[in-house]
Amino acid sequence: MDLVESCSSTEGAIQAVHWCVCQGVDKLHVLKELISKHFRFRSKISNHTILCTDILLKVIDIGNEELLEIILPHVSDDFLSQKWSGKTIITKLLCIAVENGKSKLVPLLSRRGGEEAVTSWYRGRPMFHLAVLAGNLEVAEELLAAGANVMATDSRKDPILITVISDSKDERKEEKVAWLLRKGADPKRCASSGKEPIHVAAAHSGPIIVQLLNAGCDVNTQDHIKGDTPLHVACARCCEDGIVTLVQHGAKFNILNNHGETPLEKLLKFAQNFPNFHSKTRINIAKSLVRIGFRIPSKEKGEKSSMHKSGRVGRDKIADVYKSVMANMTGTGSLQHLCRLRVRDEVKGQSFEKSVASLDVPKLVKDYLMFKDNPSSEPTIKRLVEE
């Protein structure tokens, strides 16, 4: 077939376009000549719907924006607005481009599909969420530029910041969190569980806790359901990295949640089977935390423990474990440490770190108040105890 003969039929010309696209960028010069000869006026590539769909899918698979720039102006709006699997064709094409990380194609497709295409969902999530979770931040950037909302929520009403933080398998989540915060994600926007991002980070990542604190989060903020602080969450999940980071950034040790539980009580709630390895780990962590000032308040006479508020009768197993831990403790903290605890309790303000930094005392004293006096590059709970 002569690809550039003016007398070729429209269908023949569309088949020739299909052939050129299948050859990729090697035939761009032929494609340009074909388009200029056969599709200058009313003829559209979309006059043959099956071939046109295949051409567009192939262009997206190749991911070359020049190919798309040549083809797309010769596809009619009526064709792009037709339904395909519950979406318009242009929206579906945009979804496929996003899923496959074709960032350079996103602005071209979004201009033809408008805001409705950009804010559409795909595979159960907003397209912006899919791009971020897949690590395609260039695609996500293009979606934002085209009108996507960084605070859009998924089917569970969770913003993307929460979803990224809670993904324990994502090795790039610190990078993604930093990017989302730069793009305007609200560091205090609650998840459907009532927890703020810092509560979620407390169970997963110390470095992300620091990012959120630098973004203005309160280290002692209580969630809207249970009244848990981030330290309650870190202790409940036995996340040593989270516990250490929160302590070093001013977390109060013994705040009570709505059930009257301290963080230490949350830690010991799942440490009631003494032979169990996980229970032993929690108990060992509890011993170190007790040494630096974590406590479970004694119950007043007639007061039910948090575990027994439902009216159940029986032993308070958490109290038993706590008594066992305290029975093995010897000695008392140094006078310096007791003073540190008192000063930490007296420091006011949402940002403990900034408040300590403003104190008119030597840097060594500030580091001591923050439990940062140990020069170890990898602080642990055990090192917090060492004085």
Residue-wise pLDDT tens digits, 248-282: 999 999 999 999 999 999 999 887 666 677 888 89
Query: Residue 362 burial by CB count (10 A; 0-12/13-18/19+): exposed, middle or buried?
Result: exposed
Q: Per residue in 189-203, pLDDT tens?
A: 999 989 999 999 999
Classify 85 in phi/psi space as left (phi over 0), alpha (psi -120 to 50) or beta.
Answer: left
DSSP output for 195-249: --HHHHHHTT-HHHHHHHHHTT--TT---SSS---HHHHHHHTT-HHHHHHHHTT
Which pLDDT belongs to residue 307?
A: 46
Q: How far is CA 340 from CA 208, 248, 251, 354, 371, in A?
A: 26, 12, 13, 17, 9
Whose CA is closest to 241, among 334, 333, 168? 168
| Cα within 13 Å of Cα(150), Cβ side | 18
Q: Which residues contact 186 (CB under 8 A, 6 or more apart)?
A: 151, 159, 161
Rounded CA-CA distance 146/115 in Å is: 7
Above 60 in pLDDT, residue 139?
A: yes
Per-residue confidence band for 72, with pLDDT thresholds at 50, 70 and 90: very high
Per-residue confidence band for 185, with pLDDT thresholds at 50, 70 and 90: very high
Domains of the chain: 156-297+316-387 (1.25.40.20)
Above 50 in pLDDT, residue 90?
A: yes
Length of the chain: 387
**How many other C-beta atoms lie within 10 A of the C-beta of residue 227?**
16
- Residue where the block lists tokens 């979606």: 143
What SS3 class is residue 186?
coil
Above 50 in pLDDT, residue 310?
A: no
84 φ/ψ angles, rounded to the nearest 5 degrees: -145, 110
Helix axes 89-99 and 49-62, enclosed angle (nearest 10): 20
Across-strand partners of 87? 84
What SS3 class is residue 122?
strand
Q: Per residue in 322-351, pLDDT tens?
A: 888 888 777 667 888 888 888 888 877 667
Average pLDDT, the chain: 87
Whose CA is closest to 37, among 57, 59, 14, 60? 14
Above 70 in pLDDT, residue 301?
A: no
